[in-house]
Structure 1
Amino acid sequence: MIKILLILPCAGFFAWLGVTAICFPGGLLGSYGIKVATVDGFNEIRAVYGGLPLMWSALLFASLARPELRTPVALSVAAACIGMVAGRLVSAGIDQSLGRMPTIFLGIETAVAAALIASALVKSA
């Protein structure tokens, strides 16, 4: 049960992010001060910020129905989150700054990675 409680909010977060990116591609990055005004830009946001998180969400939800998938799926998505965290930290070091939204997502990505790793370490179903 604890694995499910750790995985479920992570799957929900990625579902929210993916749907938001697909439905509002111009608005998603607006809070970062990034203006997207081309069809190619919208396509990129829908693919990377929309399709990718939706697939992670789908995999996480599928792993809830198939217990044998929980650990490999959780660790794979956690690894991707750790990659995003590392990229943000490298950027903060290079730029000597980390803005409000990157800080918020740094926290979310760290929490998601930690929850998914914890779910992989828990021995109960």
Structure 2
Amino acid sequence: MAIFLIYLMLSWWGIGAWLLFDPAALEAYAGVAALTPTGLTELRAMYGGMELAIGSATLLALLRPYWRCHVLFLNGVILGGIAAGRLVGVALDGNISVYTLAVLTFELSAVAICLLLARGLQRSGE
């Protein structure tokens, strides 16, 4: 479980730090671009700040085992919501890219792992 939590933490922190300082990078790999300084701030907040916060919560779970089930639930809900929104977007927009397939694979597999690990923790009473 610790290896998976480290993986999640580093994934959130890596993408969050990158996009906090270079939100324009979203245009190259996801086709998302800010049109104004306010838009850049919004990208920094949602793709940078929020992802760094989720990664930090995941670090808490590594340091304090009590939080593991909660943080697995948090990650599962967030990643599940992102994947659901992405699937609705694919259905409404009628298009799926290699990028979209790659991130959906990550999101859906991580949701499944989060649910399995959280369920195991609940059963063991941790």
Question: What's the TM-score once normalised by structure 1's chain length?
Answer: 0.88
How do residues 74-89 of structure 1 correspond to structure 2 at under 5 angstroms? 74-89=72-87
Instruction: In structure 2, list runs of 5 or more residues that go unmatched.
Output: none
Question: What's the TM-score once normalised by structure 2's chain length?
Answer: 0.87
- Residue 25 of structure 1: SS of its match in structure 2? coil
Instruction: Give the CA deviation at 1:37.
Output: 4.2
> What is the aligned partner in structure 2 of residue 18 from structure 1?
16
How do residues 11-90 of structure 1 correspond to structure 2 at under 5 angstroms? 11-90=9-88
Identity of aligned residues (%): 24
Q: 1:8 to 1:118 in 2, by over 3 A?
A: farther
Q: Which moved more, 1:70-79 or 1:27-36?
A: 27-36
Superposed CA RMSD: 1.7
CA contact (8 A) 1:4 1:64 kept: yes
Instruction: Give the CA deviation at 1:64.
Output: 0.8
CA contact (8 A) 1:25 1:46 kept: yes
Higher relative contact order (CA 8 A, sep 6+): 1
In 2, the alpha carbon distance for the partners of 1:55 and 1:78 equals 15
Deviations 1:66-118 (A, max 9, x none): 11100011111211100111111111111221122222111111122222223
In 2, the alpha carbon distance for the partners of 1:114 and 1:63 equals 18
In 1, the alpha carbon distance for the partners of 2:51 and 2:77 equals 13
Instruction: In structure 1, list runs of 5 or more residues that go unmatched.
Output: none
